[in-house]
Amino acid sequence: MLQNRKSDPARLAGDIMRWLDRPLVLVGLMGVGKSTVGKRLANDLGIGFVDADEEIEKAAHMTIAEIFERFGEPYFRDGERRVISRLIDGQPRVIATGGGAFMNEETRALILSGAIAIWLDADIRTLVERVSRRNTRPLLRNGNPAEVLTRLAEQRNPIYAEAQIHVRSKDGPHHRTVTAILEGLARWHG
């Protein structure tokens, strides 16, 4: 019974909001569901949600694919760092980041010191299935998505692992992943 009470998402969310004093930043590979899960998480906690990729597009008046094409990846990463630093302002909110943001040393340091990083992780098969729904990601345009994602997972997982919280996103409804995040936060806070 106690176990059920602890896992009740509304109760967990209420407890978390009593101590949360920073943004929650979702990191992880393309297709893992950072935006979808992030919106639901923000909704459950009763706080705002912002998608860093969308903020970059708004600031640049261009899509991410256009920024990559016209100015290259380093330019995009710099804009990404600036946008994320603006969004981490001490206010509790949920921020979904693009899959590469946490790889940038400065961006990562900003996130780890001013927010709580949550690594959303899924197996390659699930990621491939999810990224195949959209063809807007420049890093997946040249090459086989399964190969690209496998290589990125090898390079990036050890760095994502620096996040304070690690949650596996399973197949199935996103609310389960949201509950797993709430449980992870409650455990982390102790």
Q: Please report, in range form, the residues annotated as the binding site.
A: 31-36, 53, 77, 99, 137, 156
What burial class does residue 29 get, using C-beta atoms within 10 Å of its C-beta: 0-12 exposed, 13-18 middle, 19+ buried? buried
Applying the rule CB under 6 A, the residues between 125 and 144 that interact with ligand S3P are: 137-139
What are the tokens at 85? Answer: 């630093």
Amino acid identity, position 89: D
**Residue 121 lies near ligand S3P (rule: CB under 6 A):** no
Q: Out of 40, 42, 44, 53, name the contact with ligand S3P by CB under 6 A.
A: 53
DSSP line for 47-109: -EEEEHHHHHHHHHTS-HHHHHHHH-HHHHHHHHHHHHHHH-SS--EEEE--TTGGGSHHHHH
Task: State the nearest-atom distance from the C-beta of 1 to ligand S3P, in Å.
Answer: 39
Q: Out of 26, 47, 64, 128, name the contact with ligand S3P by CB under 6 A.
A: 64
Task: State the nearest-atom distance from the C-beta of 138 to ligand S3P, in Å.
Answer: 5
Task: State the nearest-atom distance from the C-beta of 160 to ligand S3P, in Å.
Answer: 11
End-to-end CA distance of the chain: 20
User: What residue ranges bind ligand S3P (CB under 6 A)?
Assistant: 30, 34, 53, 64, 98-100, 137-139
